[in-house]
Amino acid sequence: MRVFALPFRWLAGTSAAHSLRVRLTLLVLLAALPALGLLLLTASEQRTDAIAAGQSEARRVARLAAANQDGLIDQTRLLLNTLARLPEVQASDLTQCSPLFTNLIVADPRYTNLGVVDGDGALACSAISTEAAGSAIDAGFVQRVFENNAFTIGTYGVGSVDGRPTIYFALPVETGSGPPSRIVFAALNLGDLDTFANQADLQQGSILTILDANGTIILRYPFDPAVVGTSLADTPAVRDLLTSQSGVNIVELPDGDEYVFAFERVVPVSEDNPGIGTAYITVAVPEEAVVEAANETFRRNLGRLGIVALLSMVAAWVLSDVFVRRDGETRKTLVAELYQAFGSGGVDLLDDMIASDFVDRSPSPGQARGIEGVKQVIAGFRTAFPDGAIVPQELLADRDKVVARVTLTGTHVGDFFGLPPSGKAVTADGVETFRFAGGLIVESWSMFGEIVPIVGTEIVPNGREPAGGRRGLFGRLFSRFRGGAPAREEAR
């Protein structure tokens, strides 16, 4: 705590701490601190709320994308159920099957191929050439369809026919009382993810991705062929994803940026579907984009607060002399109060009148520097002249200075800075000049005449009546230049 207090102690000991302008400016700054703290707290809460809203929105988009894929799967299931009952597919002669399927994929370009596969795995019918279609059908998938004897979802992947992301669906064809001897399949193009992303109105910089069950990218929006086929299974975000149904979090992606990352499993894992044919939809929104509105609000409010604080500081600095400055009359009052301290001995108020680095240009012998020297002179004066006083006869103020014509009176009973006591009532006239800065006395010059005793109502220099009568003020003031001791030193 002492370390933190040192700058404040140092500031309190400087003359700037006594400047009215500085005090008002610091007051304005202190008044702005609670507003700044509230602004920072509000900005933090707004960022937290923005991230929470961003997570909710990202999760909503992921669920919508997954629902969109689920909708395509349901439509494909209905399509395959219909195709499996058509005579062209049921017949032993499948020559009419291929033309039918060709017309269907032309009518619905979402499907890259429709076809029929026999029980031995041979391609019996296809909307595209049998050479291209045959290489695209995975034998393991065909075997799994026959084993399931039900609608089966294949693995998401990149189609070998046209390089587009594709998923295969198949359904056994019931042709009699025995087990199915053929299956009808559909290859669904996943390229319409771009359309969905545009409709979802994603924030700038957002990434929409489809991952297969192994964590490999099979489609990405915006499209980037360089990353298609890249495995992300080793990244923390995808590693957690592969063991969950859905979720949302703040993660760091391979590009090094923080994202609001939401994911949803397209085909829920169940007893009928252990996850072989599933995939994941992920939505990654840059965290900076999510909190941009909150940051912009913070910057705007901070700018407004800064402008208000700056204007207030300028007003405090410029207008301080207009509203609360210590003008000529006020400065003369301060000088009069200083002289009252010589009569009362009270020095507590001097700190509000005199700067700590005050300079006395006419110091008494042994006088300390600064304000402590003034207090020392007052204490010495009270000891030497217990009933003494210094009374202003005239005070003149001009710009930053006050000139005082004063009269010292009192019974000299003690030593006063080397001047031995006389035990008599004495008096001396003097002229002192005070310079002000920042509302405080920062410098002074003093010139006193010789101290002379008072006899009755007459003032007698050195106890004798002067031959030429009583000397005037200027005669006494300048007597120091005719061999007398320094005037201020005599008075003190």
- Cα–Cα distance, 473 to 450 (Å, whole number): 10
Average pLDDT of the chain? 80
Q: Which long-range contacts (CB under 8 A, 24 or more apart) does 371-376 make?
A: 374/347, 374/350, 375/347, 375/350
Which helix (DSSP H) or strand (DSSP E) does residue 75 occupy? helix 20-84
Strand partners, 433: 403, 445
Question: Rounded to whole angstroms, how far apart are CA atoms 108 and 179?
Answer: 31
* pLDDT, position 324: 45
CATH class for domain 49-292?
A: alpha beta
Q: What are phi and psi of 378, to 5 degrees?
A: -65, -45
By percentage, how much of the chain surpasses pLDDT 70?
Answer: 79
Q: What is the mean pLDDT of each run of 10 residues along the chain (492 residues)?
A: 58 58 76 87 90 89 83 88 92 89 91 90 85 69 87 69 74 84 88 66 81 80 77 83 84 84 74 59 89 90 89 77 64 93 90 92 90 92 93 91 95 87 92 92 93 70 43 38 40 42
The token pair at 411 is 């019974």
Question: What is the predicted pLDDT for the residue at 89?
Answer: 92
Domain boundaries, the chain: 49-292, 328-491
Q: What is the pLDDT of residue 464?
A: 43
Which pLDDT does position 341 carry in this prediction?
A: 93
**pTM listed for this prediction:** 0.54
Question: What pLDDT shows up at residue 29?
Answer: 80
Residue bearing tokens 């992921």? 62
Structure tokens at 479: 């007597």
Output 134-140 pairs: Cβ under 8 A, ≥24 positions apart.
135/160, 135/161, 136/160, 136/161, 136/187, 137/168, 137/185, 138/168
Q: How far apart are CA 69 and CA 77, in angstroms?
A: 12
| pLDDT for res 208 | 85
Residue 468 has phi, psi (to 5 degrees) of -95, 20
Q: What is the pLDDT of residue 198?
A: 66
Q: What angle do CA 224, 228, 230 make, to 5 degrees?
A: 125
CB neighbour list of residue 136: distance below 8 Å, 6 or more residues apart: 113, 159, 160, 161, 187
Predicted local confidence at residue 271, as pLDDT:
47
**Would you say 161 and 273 are in contact if contact means Cβ atoms under 8 Å apart?**
no
Give the right CATH number for 328-491 from 3.40.50.11740, 3.40.50.720, 3.20.20.70, 3.10.450.50. Answer: 3.10.450.50
Tell me, what's the pLDDT at 383? 92
Task: Compute the distance between CA of residue 471 and CA of residue 452 in angstroms, rounded to an integer.
Answer: 11
Backbone φ and ψ of 245, nearest 5°: -85, -40
